[in-house]
Amino acid sequence: MTDTTFADLGLADTLLRALDSAGYQHPTPIQARAIPEVLKGGDLLAAAQTGTGKTAGFTLPILQRLSTSDAPKPGAGRPRCLVLTPTRELAAQVHDSVKTYGRNLKLRSMTIFGGVNMNPQIKALRDRMDIVVATPGRLLDHANQKTIDLSGVEILVLDEADRMLDMGFIRDIKKLIALMPKTRQNLMFSATFSDEIRTLANGLLTRPAEIDIAPRNTAAESVQQSVHLVETSQKRELLSHLIRTNNWEQVLVFTRTKHGANRLAEKLSKDGVRSEAIHGNKSQAARTKALKQFKSGQVPVLVATDIAARGLDIDQLPQVVNFELPNVPEDYVHRIGRTGRAGSAGAALSLVDGEEIKLLKGIERLIQRPIDRIETEGFAAPKPAANDGNGNRRGGRGGKPGGGARNGAPRNARGGKPGGGRGDNGRPSSNGNRAARSR
Query: How does 68-79 read in b/e, with b if 16+ C-beta sit within 10 Å?
Result: eeeeeeeeebbb
Closest to 227 (Cα-Cα) out of 369, 400, 401: 369
| Radius of gyration of the chain measured on its C-alpha atoms | 22
What helix, strand, coil percent values describe the chain, rounded to 5? Answer: 35, 15, 50
Tens digit of each residue's pLDDT (9 = 90 or more) over 64-92: 999 998 888 888 999 999 999 998 888 99
Residue-level pLDDT at 397: 37
- Angle 77-82-4 (CA atoms, 0-180°, nearest 5)? 135
State mean pLDDT over 235-250: 93
Residue-level pLDDT at 168: 85
Burial tier of 370 (Cβ tally within 10 Å: 0-12, 13-18, 19+): exposed
For 48-74, the DSSP string reads --TTS-HHHHHHHHHHHHHHTS--SS-
Distance CA 152, CA 160 (A): 23
Distance CA 301, CA 125 (A): 37
Which letter does DSSP use for residue 82 in this model?
E
Residue-level pLDDT at 162: 85
Residue-level pLDDT at 385: 55
Distance CA 61, CA 189 (A): 14
Query: How does 27-42 read in b/e, with b if 16+ C-beta sit within 10 Å?
Result: bbbbbbbbbebbbeee
Which letter does DSSP use for residue 247 in this model?
T
Query: Residue 126's pLDDT band (boundaries 50, 70, 90)?
Result: very high
Helix or strand holding residue 276 (H, E)? strand 275-278
State mean pLDDT over 210-233: 79
Question: Using an 8 Å Cβ cutoff, are 228 and 238 in contact?
Answer: yes
Query: Residue 282's pLDDT band (boundaries 50, 70, 90)?
Result: confident
For 92-140, the DSSP string reads HHHHHHHHHHTTTS---EEEE-SSS-SHHHHHHTTSB-SEEEE-HHHHH
Burial tier of 209 (Cβ tally within 10 Å: 0-12, 13-18, 19+): middle
State mean pLDDT over 227-245: 94
Helix (H, G, I), strand (E, B) or coil at 303: strand
For the range 427-436, what are the long-range contacts, defined as Cβ-Cβ under 8 Å and sequence gap of 24 or more?
427/280, 427/281, 428/168, 429/168, 432/168, 433/168, 433/171, 434/137, 434/168, 434/169, 434/171, 434/172, 435/137, 435/167, 435/168
Distance CA 160, CA 3 (A): 29
Share of the chain above pLDDT 90, in %: 55
Given a cut of 90, is residue 285 above it in pLDDT? no
Residue-level pLDDT at 219: 60
State mean pLDDT over 40-46: 95
Beta bridge partners of 276: 302
The per-residue pLDDT of the chain, averaged, comes to 83
Question: Using an 8 Å Cβ cutoff, are 263 and 279 in contact?
Answer: no
Query: Residue 384's pLDDT band (boundaries 50, 70, 90)?
Result: low
Query: What pTM was estimated for this model as a whole?
Result: 0.63
Question: Using an 8 Å Cβ cutoff, are 209 and 44 in contact?
Answer: yes
Helix or strand holding residue 84 (H, E)? strand 81-84
Distance CA 339, CA 343 (A): 10
In the chain, what are the domains?
6-212 (3.40.50.300), 223-374 (3.40.50.300)
Residue-level pLDDT at 430: 32
Helix (H, G, I), strand (E, B) or coil at 343: helix
Residue ranges with strand state E in 323-395 = 346-352, 372-374
- Tell me the helices (H) and strands (E) count for the chain, helix number first: 15, 14
φ and ψ at 34, to 5 degrees?
A: -80, -40
Closest to 403 (Cα-Cα) out of 275, 198, 279, 259: 259
Distance CA 162, CA 286 (A): 26
